[in-house]
């Protein structure tokens, strides 16, 4: 791919301007040094100093068609020339076409789309719809989940990072979904862990009072929490429990959807149809902010004769919807979903499993498609995480050294707590994937050095 000519002085100017006025998400403002980025194309982006990075993070796991896909850039330019904005109360061609393209890909009768600007707003509205539909006050979600950083979304999120500033909310009830590798419940097989998790959910519902629960909200494959692929039968079991108690089943596919798992929706792998699906990110590769809720016919019908009490100035924004139409059509034309499935099965999965055999720091490999995680440990037997939860400073050195080694090798990694997620664009080529995996392999030596078996070298 093209890169722009190095211009360190321009990079310094961007850094200074950023420092002066940009307040960054999820960061101690005085402790960060955001990389000034000059551009990106396909699976790569580059800085002002002449360094190019293979994007193994897809940014925040959203650039599913890579950077600056020419068809989508052209569609945004064309849409900008025709109609930049129009209030949600009007019927607009690209708004309707994007809704049709999404609805065609959702399972079952989830055929109506409520548009938002991103994932958290989608979760907020799914929760509101479920509460209005059932007339019930509580919503359940799992520990080890991420649903966004707005009000209901953060209260549902089961991520230890949130506890520091959040008291929780009345009506947000957490439970433990299946996670065999880190289960504290002594399950030995995926089947036992699935049984354990379903029994635990059922019991939690009974103790909370089934008639008080509006919704169960799950990521189909929990992303930020570590790419937790549910065991066979789990989601079908949750569907059955929800049906029995009249609870709305919401699958959050903000990260898992639109090709990431090697299917249009991760629910497709499990043959499960929820009542609501939240989506964002990959729907248009993040080129313009966009998200939405796909709504079942039953829930949509609730609001046929009474207004839905929710809305956003930019719901169904024409520029965003135009980019979604172009993205979905491009993914279909170029076989990008199939590519993700193929690369996962034949390149990324086998390579990561092989690395796990050689590297003492790799405790577990999980994933599918272009959606993978390595759970890094100090000790494969005890499974002690390579760094403690919420580690910072010297405590986080093993992960920081690993990330620095990836970057020196030209790969931009996704690192979260004791894990690295391998989440490149869904249209990454085999050659690019292999290039990145070789760098990752090398960088794992930095993690190995902090294990109880530091002598075992990656090349050993």
Footprint of ligand PLP (CB under 6 A): 60, 118-120, 123, 146-148, 219, 223-224, 252, 254-255, 280, 291
Q: Which residues contact 133 (CB under 8 A, 6 or more apart)?
A: 214, 248, 298, 299, 302
Residue 323 or 445 with smaller CB distance to ligand PLP: 323
Task: Report the SS3 class of residue 437.
Answer: helix
Token pair 């609805």 is found at 103
Residue 256 or 355 with smaller CB distance to ligand PLP: 256
Please state, in angstroms and rounded to a whole number, the distance separating the CA atoms of residues 368 and 366: 7
User: Helical H runs in 209-304?
Assistant: 234-245, 267-270, 297-302
CB of 448 to ligand PLP, least distance (A): 29
Residue 101 or 228 with smaller CB distance to ligand PLP: 228
Residue nearest to ligand PLP (CB): 119
CB of 124 to ligand PLP, least distance (A): 9
| Residue 250 near residue 220, CB atoms below 8 Å | no
Q: Which two tokens stand for residue 381?
A: 């037997």
Residue 147 or 421 with smaller CB distance to ligand PLP: 147
CB of 61 to ligand PLP, least distance (A): 7
Residue 114 or 146 with smaller CB distance to ligand PLP: 146
CB of 67 to ligand PLP, least distance (A): 18
| Residue 120 near residue 321, CB atoms below 8 Å | no
Phi then psi dihedrals of residue 452, to 5 deg: -75, -5
Please state, in angstroms and rounded to a whole number, the distance separating the CA atoms of residues 335 and 295: 26
Kind of pairing between the strands at 138-143 and 172-176: parallel
E strands, 263-395, in order:
276-279, 291-296, 362-368, 371-376
CB of 268 to ligand PLP, least distance (A): 17
Residue 120 or 241 with smaller CB distance to ligand PLP: 120
């Amino acid at each position: 791919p093209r890169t722009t000519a190095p211009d360190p002085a321009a990079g310094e100017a961007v850094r200074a301007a950023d420092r002066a006025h940009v307040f960054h998400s999820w960061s101690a403002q005085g402790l960060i040094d955001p990389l000034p980025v000059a551009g990106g194309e396909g699976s790569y982006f580059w800085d002002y100093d002449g360094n190019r990075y293979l994007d193994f993070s897809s940014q925040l796991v959203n650039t599913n068609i890579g950077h600056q896909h020419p068809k989508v850039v052209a569609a945004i330019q064309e849409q900008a020339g025709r109609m930049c904005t129009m209030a949600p109360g009007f019927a607009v061609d690209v708004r309707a076409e994007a809704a049709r393209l999404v609805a065609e890909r959702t399972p079952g009768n989830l055929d109506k789309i409520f548009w938002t600007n991103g994932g958290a707003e989608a979760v907020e509205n799914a929760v509101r719809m479920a509460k209005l539909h059932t007339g019930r006050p509580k919503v359940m979600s799992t520990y080890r989940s991420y649903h966004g950083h707005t009000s209901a979304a953060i209260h549902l999120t089961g991520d230890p990072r949130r506890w520091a500033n959040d008291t929780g909310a009345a009506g947000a009830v957490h439970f433990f979904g299946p996670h065999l590798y880190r289960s504290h419940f002594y399950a030995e097989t995926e089947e036992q862990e699935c049984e354990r998790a379903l029994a635990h959910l059922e019991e939690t519902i009974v103790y909370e009072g089934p008639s008080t629960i509006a919704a169960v909200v799950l990521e189909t494959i929990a992303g930020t929490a570590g790419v937790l692929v549910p065991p066979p039968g789990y989601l079908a079991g949750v569907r059955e429990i929800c049906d029995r108690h009249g609870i709305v089943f919401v699958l959050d596919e903000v990260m898992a959807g639109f090709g990431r798992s090697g299917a249009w929706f991760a629910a497709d792998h499990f043959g499960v149809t929820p009542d609501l699906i939240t989506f964002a990110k990959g729907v248009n590769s993040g080129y313009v902010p966009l998200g939405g809720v796909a709504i079942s016919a039953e829930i949509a019908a609730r609001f046929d004769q009474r207004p839905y009490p929710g809305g956003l100035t930019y719901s169904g924004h024409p520029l965003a919807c135009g980019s979604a139409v172009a993205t979905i059509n491009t993914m279909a034309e170029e076989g990008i979903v199939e590519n993700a499935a193929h690369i996962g099965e034949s390149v990324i999965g086998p390579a990561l499993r092989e690395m796990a055999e050689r590297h003492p720091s790799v405790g577990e490999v999980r994933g599918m498609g272009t959606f993978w995680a390595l759970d890094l440990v100090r000790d494969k037997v005890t499974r002690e995480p390579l760094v403690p939860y919420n580690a910072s400073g010297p405590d986080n050195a093993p992960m920081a050294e690993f990330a620095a080694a990836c970057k020196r090798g030209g790969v931009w990694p996704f690192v979260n707590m004791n894990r690295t997620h391998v989440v490149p664009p869904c249209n990454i080529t085999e050659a690019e994937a292999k290039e990145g995996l070789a760098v990752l392999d090398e960088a794992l030596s930095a993690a190995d050095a902090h294990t109880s078996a530091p002598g075992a070298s990656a090349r050993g």
